[in-house]
């Protein structure tokens, strides 16, 4: 087991952390679900006691009137609450990852203990959670046009589905019950931090802690390296959901014919991607994770054409860095910000810039492989995440303790 231990606090004890998470359904694969699992495992490896309070969409959506009940929960903040379970667990800190759509939000004001919230996306600002529409950044709702998302039916292309989210966000991010109550709010990138501050969250309450990724189980034995196929040696790689915000269709429409590219993933634009893919592009569908990471080191570089701002650096980008694979990212995303900051690849400005960027990157990227591994080891490992989150948790506990007075409600535990 790698050493990801953390220093104990002044009382010489570890923390009990309760994770609250509404698990997205399997029909919508989510890196957020995996991040929560990985973080729970890392906390346990570091010696903390971890409990999870979860609501699973796959199970709940089979119940009678699920969509109606979920919509009412989102709109009103009332509904399923973890309070009873949390009272039994008596944690030092409650870490809320996601409440949508299965947990209410009103319960947070009743919990008399430290709360940390992680902003995995932009849902408190945007019904879709991406701040993206028609191929570009869209901030109409947080800019004050509160009902734009409803008028446009942004969530799942439906006004009825969008209504609960627009209603919940109608008073702006500063009125969000969870974000108003949380002692610390974790953002995953500089871009996310800047956008949330722009739209009303106090920067003093925000902590920037990027997600982490490892190519092996941090508590398990190291995997033996597999021989990757030779035909990947000169090819570029795209990994992700084939959907509008990922920019895959724009990428393929502007991809230089004959330039070798492997597209790994599936999604609603699968057929459209196959129709426009030029010569030299292979659409391989979804691949098992272990097989994908084994292939990564042989590629020329990872291409990230996302056209939405992204609240976090994609996990596949971190996996690429761990594998020594430089990144070519489209400007305007969290991944592009990271590439510019850390020098782990190159950024292209738009479709017209892509061919030249590819040619330059093909020459430069072989020299960046060791640097990419070094950046991953320094910034995006379980050990670096544990160190940062340990500080966040203890600061949240101190903040809550300092705000509690004998006249306020009794502590939960």
Task: Quote the CA–CA distance of 152 and 162 in Å, as a whole number.
Answer: 9
> What are the residue ranges spanned by the domains of the chain?
16-125+172-212+382-403, 230-379
φ/ψ of 269, rounded to 5, equals: -100, 20
Complete DSSP assignment for 30-54: -HHHHHHHHHHHHHHHTT-EEEEEE
The answer to whether 16-125+172-212+382-403 and 230-379 have equal CATH topology is: yes
187-225 burial, b at 16+ Cβ within 10 Å, e below that, comes to bbbebbbebbeebebeeeebbebbbbbbbeebeeeeeee
Q: Which CATH class is domain 16-125+172-212+382-403?
A: alpha beta
Assigned CATH for 230-379: 3.40.50.2000
Which pLDDT score, from 0 to 100, does residue 227 have?
46
**Per-residue confidence (pLDDT) for residue 258, from 0 to 100:** 82
Among 163, 302, 208, CA closest to 246: 302
Distance CA 9, CA 247 (A): 45
Q: What is the pLDDT of residue 199?
A: 97
Q: 230, exposed or middle or buried, with CB in 10 Å at 0-12, 13-18, 19+?
A: exposed
Parts of the chain with a pLDDT under 70: 1-12, 29, 214-231, 404-412
pLDDT by residue (tens digit) across 57-95?
Answer: 999 999 999 999 999 999 999 999 999 999 999 999 999
What pLDDT score does 67 carry?
94
Query: So what's the pLDDT on residue 228?
Result: 47
**CB-based contact 180:174 (threshold 8 Å):** yes
If DSSP codes are grouped into helix, strand and coil, which group holds residue 22? Answer: strand
Nearest CA-CA partner of 172 in 203, 139, 199, 137:
199
């Amino acid at each position: 087991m790698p050493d990801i231990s953390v220093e104990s606090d002044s009382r010489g004890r570890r923390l009990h952390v309760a994770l609250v998470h509404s698990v997205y359904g399997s029909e919508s694969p989510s890196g957020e679900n995996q991040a929560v699992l990985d973080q729970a495992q890392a906390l346990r490896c570091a010696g903390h006691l971890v409990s999870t309070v979860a609501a699973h969409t796959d199970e709940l959506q089979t119940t009678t009137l699920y969509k109606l009940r979920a919509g009412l929960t989102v709109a009103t903040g009332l509904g399923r609450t973890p309070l009873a379970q949390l009272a039994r667990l008596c944690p030092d800190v409650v870490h809320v990852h996601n409440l949508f759509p299965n947990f209410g939000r009103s319960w947070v004001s009743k919990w008399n203990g430290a709360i940390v919230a992680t902003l995995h996306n932009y849902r408190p600002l945007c019904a879709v959670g991406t701040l993206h529409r028609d191929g570009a950044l869209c901030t109409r709702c947080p800019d004050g046009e509160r009902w734009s998302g409803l008028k446009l039916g942004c969530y799942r292309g439906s006004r009825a589905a969008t209504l609960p989210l627009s209603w919940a966000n109608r008073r702006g991010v500063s009125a969000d019950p969870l974000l108003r109550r949380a002692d610390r709010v974790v953002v995953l990138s500089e871009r996310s931090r800047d956008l949330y501050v722009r739209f009303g969250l106090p920067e003093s309450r925000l902590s920037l802690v990027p997600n982490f990724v490892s190519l092996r189980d941090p508590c398990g034995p190291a995997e033996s390296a597999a021989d990757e196929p030779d035909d990947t040696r000169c090819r570029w790689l795209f990994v992700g959901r084939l959907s509008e915000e990922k920019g895959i269709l724009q990428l393929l429409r502007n991809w230089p014919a004959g330039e070798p590219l492997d597209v790994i993933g599936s999604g609603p634009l699968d057929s459209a991607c196959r129709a426009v893919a030029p010569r030299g592009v292979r659409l391989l569908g979804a691949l098992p994770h272990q097989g994908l990471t084994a292939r990564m080191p042989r590629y020329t570089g990872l291409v990230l054409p996302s056209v939405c701002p992204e609240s976090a650096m994609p996990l596949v980008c971190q996996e690429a860095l761990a594998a020594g694979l430089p990144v070519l990212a489209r400007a305007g995303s969290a991944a592009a910000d990271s590439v510019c900051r850390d020098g782990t690849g190159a950024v292209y400005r738009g479709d017209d810039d892509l061919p030249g960027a590819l040619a330059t990157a093909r020459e430069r990227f072989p020299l960046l492989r060791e640097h990419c591994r070094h950046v991953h080891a320094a910034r995006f490992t379980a050990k670096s995440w544990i160190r940062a989150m340990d500080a966040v948790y203890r600061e949240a506990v101190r903040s809550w303790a300092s705000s509690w007075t004998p006249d306020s409600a009794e502590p939960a535990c």
